[in-house]
Structure 1
Amino acid sequence: MSTTIQVRVTGTADPEDELRSLLRWLKADDEVGPSAHGVLAGSAPPHPEHMGTLLDIISLTVASGLSATQLAVAIGQWRGTRRRTPDVTLRRGDTEVTVTGADAGTVRAIAELMAEPGREERPDDGGTA
C-alpha cells in the first residue's frame, strides 16, 4: 500500500530550485530513496498567459514500509544543508505538517500524515537528528 503526499518548500527565493534539490536528496537517501517516488508538479492549473506550469510541489508517493522517522530525518538533514533553512510542508488530504526539525513531535505528526485512514500507526521514536 502506498501513500501520496504533497511537499511544498517555502521561505526561499527560488522554491522550484529547492524542490528539485530536496527531490534529488530524497532519491539519493539510502533509506528513503527505495521507498519513495517523487515528481515535480503544479498545485494549480497553468495560467493561460504564462508558458508552462508553475512547479511548486513534489508529489511524493511513499511505500508503506517507509517510516515517519526515516522521512523526517532525511528532510531535516536536507534542511541542514541549505544556506537559508526553508520550511517544508507535507500535506495529505486535509492533514498538513510543517517540518522544522526531526524531533519526536514532528515524527509523530508525519506518522499521522502517512498513516492509512482507519489504521493506527506508531512512529519509531528511536532516532533524532
Structure 2
Amino acid sequence: MPNQPVIPENERPTKPAIVRGLRRRCPNCGEGMMFVGYLKVVDRCPVCDEDLHHHRADDGPAYLTILLVAHLLAVMMHFGWSQFRPDPMVFATVLTIVSVALSLYLLPRLKGLIVAIQWSRRMHGFGDTS
C-alpha cells in the first residue's frame, strides 16, 4: 500500500492507542478488553498478550473526570437557570443525577486513555526491555 506511511515495528502511534483506550480496549491490538470489572486493568491482554500491569494511572482519571464534569455542569447550570428557572430542589436533583451518571460513564474511559498514552509513550515500564 503505497499511500500509507510505513510505521517501524518498534513505534507505537499515540492516536490509535488513545482511541483504543477510550473504547476500553488494549492499546496494542484494540481487540482485548483493558479492564476486568469497572476499573481494574488486566495484567495481560487476553488477545495479544501485551503486558498492561505497568500502568500508573493513579489519580489522573479522577482529576480529568472532575474537570470535564464540572465544566459541563457549569454550562448546564447557567443555561438551565437562566432559561427555565426550575424549582431549586428539582434543579439540584437533576444536576446531581447528571453529574453522577456522567462521572461513572467517563471514569473508565479516561483511565483507558491514560493507560494508552503511557503505553504509546513507553512510560512507567511499558518500554522494551530487550
Greater C-alpha radius of gyration: 2
- Between Structure 1 and Structure 2, the one with more helix by share is 2
Which structure has more relative contact order (CA 8 Å, sep 6+)? It is 2
TM-score normalized with structure 1 length: 0.25
TM-score, structure 2 as length reference:
0.25
